[in-house]
Amino acid sequence: MTTSRVTIKEVAARAGVSKGAVSLAFNHKPGLSEATRDRIFRAARELGWAPNPTARTLAGSRVDVVGLAVCRPARLLGLEPFYMDFVSGVESVLIERNCSLLLRLVRNVEEEVGLQEAWWRGRQIGGSILVDFRADDPRVAAVERLGMPVVAVGHPSLTGTLTSVWTDDATAVTEAVRYLAALGHRRIARVGGAAALGHTAMRTAAFDEAARTLELAGAWQVTTDYSGEAGARATRSLLTAAPPDRPTAIVYDNDIMAVAGLSVAAEMGLGVPHDVSLLAWDDSQLCRLTRPTLSAMSHDVHGFGAEAARTLFGVITGEGPGSHPVPTPVLTPRGSTAPPGV
Amino acid sequence: MTTSRVTIKEVAARAGVSKGAVSLAFNHKPGLSEATRDRIFRAARELGWAPNPTARTLAGSRVDVVGLAVCRPARLLGLEPFYMDFVSGVESVLIERNCSLLLRLVRNVEEEVGLQEAWWRGRQIGGSILVDFRADDPRVAAVERLGMPVVAVGHPSLTGTLTSVWTDDATAVTEAVRYLAALGHRRIARVGGAAALGHTAMRTAAFDEAARTLELAGAWQVTTDYSGEAGARATRSLLTAAPPDRPTAIVYDNDIMAVAGLSVAAEMGLGVPHDVSLLAWDDSQLCRLTRPTLSAMSHDVHGFGAEAARTLFGVITGEGPGSHPVPTPVLTPRGSTAPPGV
């Protein structure tokens, strides 16, 4: 069974409708009665006809599907608020365009390169959203070679010639450390995300630089897998030292690790913020649901996802390469940060 | 540009490889050198050839894409742990089959019916996972008419002739109420999920029945949109009454509302569990990160998603209709439930 010899015209003739009506039915547009839609689909089935997605895309009329590959263990994907909030932002733009998201987990970036190529060559997608950039990311050259439309979610220093949407992580980390130092903290730790990611490295470098500039008495950084369990372990390890060798403030790379840190402080009999200040990142609704509420570097992750999707549609419709910063995370002080208790 | 006249044989000949090698390249399988893959893709591009996804599916060899439409505002999708955990379970099975998930938000069930039909008729998917069943759900008849492979995530009383994967919500609610009553609670409230959903109605009926059987002195139920904000509002409203008219125990339909309830109790100066016991549902890692930790009706949502995906592949490969219960949520007592304080 192939779609070779049948044309949309023949399907329309058999169904007794116009070619436009066939197009409406297959593009899932309103305006046809149920009976007419049924007749069209029956005619197409009988003739073995299916729309050619390529033809639709090449005609520039619309894109049905955009791709997103995520390299993360399935289990972690479900635990971290960031990705679901990001995806929900992407979907908020796709729904307005009757467009679906083709979502796939991959094991490593090489697998993603092969996948994006197969998706694009196989004409399954009109473009892709690329995330989690690393230094010397092989996706940059692969996409250039393929000429496929993508938006790269990552700092321009990592995303090469690709159109990028990014947050200024270095500035935000610096602001976080400065705020804690201004409160009087001299021993500050950071519980970071995955070491392999480019933006983790940028935050790490910015933290080091800020600690040096501010001449902190103590500065610690650890990397994790972003899970609550890893955040709890890191916090327990940091807070185990006796007071002069222990941080009085900790900044986290996401929310769930900060929530876990709050729980560990309570378990160890340490008051927040009296004994230790905690500062979360991203600021999902979790931060407003804890006691005390969590101060956070607020980042509109939903809006970040929406901006990535909007930018991808710009690339698909032919906009030239560009760099699109979204607003830098801003400090939202709540109940978990204060001057160090004496 | 059409895919009409070119065959895989011609692509293979032009690239100087076997048909099997072309298939490997387009199916994104290992075993080819980068140069060979490149040559194959170039040949296909020059000839205007693309694989016919239908042919692959009909040949029974593999399914590349399965669909999932979710009817929920984009913003809420990102806030509730359930869906991301469910999707991560689905992905854990898809990744083993090199299969992608086509994800789309819809505004209502009628839009979903049209979408599933277009996906299936347009041969974009090999099958779909249907969720959030309602009473008299129009998807049942639509799927029967289309003959498309689906798995229905919902109780058999809602999913008609479709193969279903489901949890016994009524038994779990009854167990939750019995446990609280056994602790000595006589005034129990439930903060439920979305009123329109079939499983919410089943939980509501089971709660009413349990309250009657146990002759509770007070029983309250409210429905929400599953968000933390709605859970906080409902809890505040329930706890505003003076002690004899106030519940001493509250069971929630998800985790995030229970976390919000914990925060509201603290804000109102009520101790948990001394003044009010709280019982969460689903039991994501959040429940172990709060102080006190949250007792919960534990439900392996990740495993639920995995089982739905596995069952869908069974349907696709021709297994007859079936009903697949997953383990009933079980009580996991932690720090947020105790006998009512006197």
- For the cut 90, the answer to whether the pLDDT of residue B58 exceeds it is no
Contacts of B2 in chain A (CB under 8 A): 52, 55
Closest CB to B115 among A28, A54, A118: A28
Most confident listed range (A194-203, A212-221, B258-267): A212-221
Which CATH number is A8-51's, of 1.10.8.50, 2.40.50.140, 1.10.287.1260, 1.10.260.40?
1.10.260.40
Chain B interface test: which of A37, A84, A301 (most B C-beta within 10 Å) = A84
Helix B228-239 × helix B255-267 angle, to 10°: 40
- For the cut 90, the answer to whether the pLDDT of residue A75 exceeds it is no
Does B286 contact A259 at a Cβ distance shorter than 8 Å? yes
Q: Which CATH superfamily is domain B169-299 in?
A: Response regulator (3.40.50.2300)
**pLDDT given at position A253:** 96
Among the listed residues B150, B111, B159, the one whose alpha carbon sits nearest the alpha carbon of residue B132:
B159
Average pLDDT over residues B150-168: 96
SS (HEC) of chain A: CCCCCCCHHHHHHHHCCCHHHHHHHHCCCCCCCHHHHHHHHHHHHHHCCCCCHHHHHHCCCCCCEEEEEECCCHHHHHHCHHHHHHHHHHHHHHHHHCCEEEEEECCCHHHHHHHHHHHHHCCCCCCEEECCCCCCCHHHHHHHHHCCCEEEECCHHHHCCCCEEECCHHHHHHHHHHHHHHCCCCEEEEEECCCCCHHHHHHHHHHHHHHHHCCCCEEEEEECCCCHHHHHHHHHHHHCCCHHHCCCEEEECCHHHHHHHHHHHHHCCCCCCCCCEEEEEECCHHHHCCCCCCEEEECCHHHHHHHHHHHHHHHHCCCCCCEEECCCCEEECCCCCCCCCC
Q: Smallest CA–CA separation between A337 and chain B, in Å?
A: 18
Closest CB to B65 among A53, A102, A284: A102
- For the cut 80, the answer to whether the pLDDT of residue A278 exceeds it is yes
CB B261 within 8 A of CB B222: no
Contacts of B290 in chain A (CB under 8 A): 259, 263, 290
Q: Give the whole-number percent of chain A exceeding pLDDT 90.
A: 63
What are the tens digits of pLDDT across the range B120-144? 988 889 999 999 999 999 999 999 9
- For the cut 50, the answer to whether the pLDDT of residue A1 exceeds it is no
**pLDDT given at position B18:** 86
Q: Smallest CA–CA separation between A46 and chain B, in Å?
A: 12
Confidence of residue B29 (pLDDT cuts 50, 70, 90): low
Q: How far is CA B230 from the centre of its chain?
A: 20
Does B86 contact A104 at a Cβ distance shorter than 8 Å? no
| Weakest mean pLDDT among A91-105, A286-300, B31-45, B193-207 | B31-45
**pLDDT given at position A34:** 74
Collapsing DSSP states into helix, strand and coil, what is residue B222?
Answer: strand
- For the cut 60, the answer to whether the pLDDT of residue A39 exceeds it is yes
Average pLDDT over residues A302-316: 96
B38/A141 Cα distance (integer angstroms)? 14
Pairwise pLDDT comparison (A39 vs A183), residue with the higher score:
A183
Average pLDDT over residues B102-115: 92
Confidence of residue A23 (pLDDT cuts 50, 70, 90): confident
**pLDDT given at position A29:** 65
Q: Smallest CA–CA separation between B75 and chain A, in Å?
A: 6
- For the cut 70, the answer to whether the pLDDT of residue A24 exceeds it is yes
Mean pLDDT of chain A: 89
What are the tens digits of pLDDT across the range A101-113? 999 988 899 999 9
**CA closest to A256 among chain B residues:** B286
- What is the number of other CB atoms lying within 10 angstroms of the CB of residue A284? 28
- For the cut 50, the answer to whether the pLDDT of residue A294 exceeds it is yes
A148/A246 Cα distance (integer angstroms)? 50
- For the cut 90, the answer to whether the pLDDT of residue A46 exceeds it is no
A298/A300 Cα distance (integer angstroms)? 7
| Weakest mean pLDDT among A36-40, A100-104, B230-234 | A36-40
B166/B155 Cα distance (integer angstroms)? 5
| Weakest mean pLDDT among B16-25, B43-52, B269-278 | B43-52
Confidence of residue B342 (pLDDT cuts 50, 70, 90): low
**CA closest to B72 among chain A residues:** A88
B270/B268 Cα distance (integer angstroms)? 6
Average pLDDT over residues A136-162: 95
Contacts of A25 in chain B (CB under 8 A): 118
**pLDDT given at position A342:** 59
Amino acid at residue number B251: V
Q: Smallest CA–CA separation between A112 and chain B, in Å?
A: 10
**CA closest to A306 among chain B residues:** B74
**pLDDT given at position B151:** 98
Does B64 contact A124 at a Cβ distance shorter than 8 Å? yes
Q: Smallest CA–CA separation between B61 and chain A, in Å?
A: 15
CB A131 within 8 A of CB A158: no
CB pairs under 8 A between A and B: 211
ipTM above 0.90, yes or no: no
CATH 3.40.1710.10 fits A169-298, yes or no: no
Mean pLDDT of chain B: 89
Q: Which CATH superfamily is domain B65-167+302-325 in?
A: Response regulator (3.40.50.2300)
Helix A198-213 × helix A169-182 angle, to 10°: 40
Residue B104 DSSP symbol: E
Pairwise pLDDT comparison (B295 vs B15), residue with the higher score:
B295
**pLDDT given at position A78:** 67
Collapsing DSSP states into helix, strand and coil, what is residue B83?
Answer: helix
**CA closest to B111 among chain A residues:** A28
Closest CB to B121 among A44, A65, A121: A44
